[in-house]
Amino acid sequence: MTFKKNILCIGAGYVGGPTMAVIASKCPRYRVTVVDIDEEKIRRWGSDRLPIFEPGLDQIVRRARGRNLFFSTAIAEEIDRADIIFVSVNTPTKTYGHGAGMASDLQHWEKTAHQIVQYSRQAKIIVEKSTLPVRTAEAMERILTANKKGIHFDVISNPEFLAEGSAVRDLLEPDRVLIGCHDSDSGRQAAAEIAAIFAHWVPSERIITSNLWSAELSKLVANAFLAQRISSINSITPLCEKTDADIAEISYAVGSDHRIGARFLQASVGFGGSCFKKDILNLVYIARSYDLSETADYWELVVRMNEYQMKRFVDRIIREMFNTIVDKKIALFGFAFKANTGDTRESPAIFVARKLLEEKALLAISDPQALDNARHDLAGLDGRVSFESDPYKAAAGAQAIAVLTEWEQFQSLDYEKIYKGMKKPAFVFDGRNILDHPRLFAIGFNVFPIGKPSRTHF
Residue 226 interface partner, choices ligand NAD, ligand UGA, none, CB cut-off 5-8 Å depending on type: ligand UGA
3-state secondary structure of 35: strand
Among the listed residues 7, 10, 217, 303, the single contact to ligand NAD using CB under 6 A: 10
Residue 108 interface partner, choices ligand NAD, ligand UGA, none, CB cut-off 5-8 Å depending on type: ligand NAD
Residue 337 interface partner, choices ligand UGA, ligand NAD, none, CB cut-off 5-8 Å depending on type: ligand UGA
Helix or strand (DSSP H, E) at 446 = strand 446-449
Of 88 and 234, the one with the shorter C-beta distance to ligand NAD is 88
Among the listed residues 11, 133, 165, 270, the single contact to ligand NAD using CB under 6 A: 11
Burial 22-41 (b: 16+ CB within 10 A, else e): bbbbbbbebbbbbbbeeeeb
Binding of ligand NAD by 18 (CB under 6 A): no
> What minimum distance in Å lies between the beta carbon of 222 and ligand UGA?
6
Binding of ligand NAD by 15 (CB under 6 A): yes
DSSP single-letter state for residue 66? T
> What minimum distance in Å lies between the beta carbon of 270 and ligand NAD?
17
CA distance 456 to 355: 24
> What minimum distance in Å lies between the beta carbon of 219 and ligand UGA?
7
Question: Rounded to 5 degrees, what are φ and ψ at 267?
Answer: -65, 150
Binding of ligand NAD by 373 (CB under 6 A): no
3-state secondary structure of 367: coil
| Among the listed residues 444, 388, 396, 393, the one whose alpha carbon sits nearest the alpha carbon of residue 416 | 444
Q: How many angstroms from the chain centroid is the CA of residue 86? A: 19
Cis amide prior to 425 (ω within 30 degrees)? yes
In the shown chain, the binding pattern of residues 150 to 169 toward ligand NAD, with x for contact by CB under 6 A and - for none, equals ----------x-x-x-----
> What minimum distance in Å lies between the beta carbon of 408 and ligand UGA?
13
> What minimum distance in Å lies between the beta carbon of 341 and ligand UGA?
7
Q: Is 137 left (phi over 0), alpha (psi -120 to 50) or beta?
A: alpha
Of 264 and 308, the one with the shorter C-beta distance to ligand UGA is 264
Of 273 and 391, the one with the shorter C-beta distance to ligand UGA is 273
Q: Which 180-219 residues touch ligand NAD, going by CB under 6 A?
A: none
Residue 264 interface partner, choices ligand NAD, ligand UGA, none, CB cut-off 5-8 Å depending on type: ligand UGA
Of 37 and 248, the one with the shorter C-beta distance to ligand NAD is 37
> What minimum distance in Å lies between the beta carbon of 33 and ligand NAD?
12
Q: Which 78-117 residues touch ligand NAD, going by CB under 6 A?
A: 88-91, 108, 111-112
Helix axes 212-243, 293-320, angle to 10 degrees: 40
Catalytic (active-site) positions: 275
Which residues contact ligand UGA by CB under 6 A? 131, 160-164, 223, 226, 230, 264-266, 268, 271-276, 337-338
3-state secondary structure of 31: strand
First to last CA, the chain: 73
Cβ-proximal residues to 82 (8 Å cutoff; 6+ apart), any chain: 6, 7, 8, 33, 124
Binding of ligand NAD by 275 (CB under 6 A): yes
Burial 149-183 (b: 16+ CB within 10 A, else e): eeeebbbbbbbbbbebbbbbebbeebeebbbbbbe
Segment interacting with ligand NAD (CB under 6 A) among 30-38, 141-149, 407-415, 430-438: 30-38
Of 407 and 445, the one with the shorter C-beta distance to ligand UGA is 407
Q: What is the DSSP string of 115-156?
A: HHHHH--S-EEEEE-S---TTHHHHHHHHHHT-SS---EEEE
Q: Where are the alpha helices (DSSP H) in 164-292?
A: 167-172, 185-198, 212-243, 247-255, 276-289
> What minimum distance in Å lies between the beta carbon of 131 and ligand UGA?
6
Of 337 and 427, the one with the shorter C-beta distance to ligand NAD is 337
Please give the residue ranges that form the binding site for ligand NAD (CB under 6 A): 10-16, 35-38, 41, 75, 88-91, 108, 111-112, 130-131, 160, 162, 164, 274-275
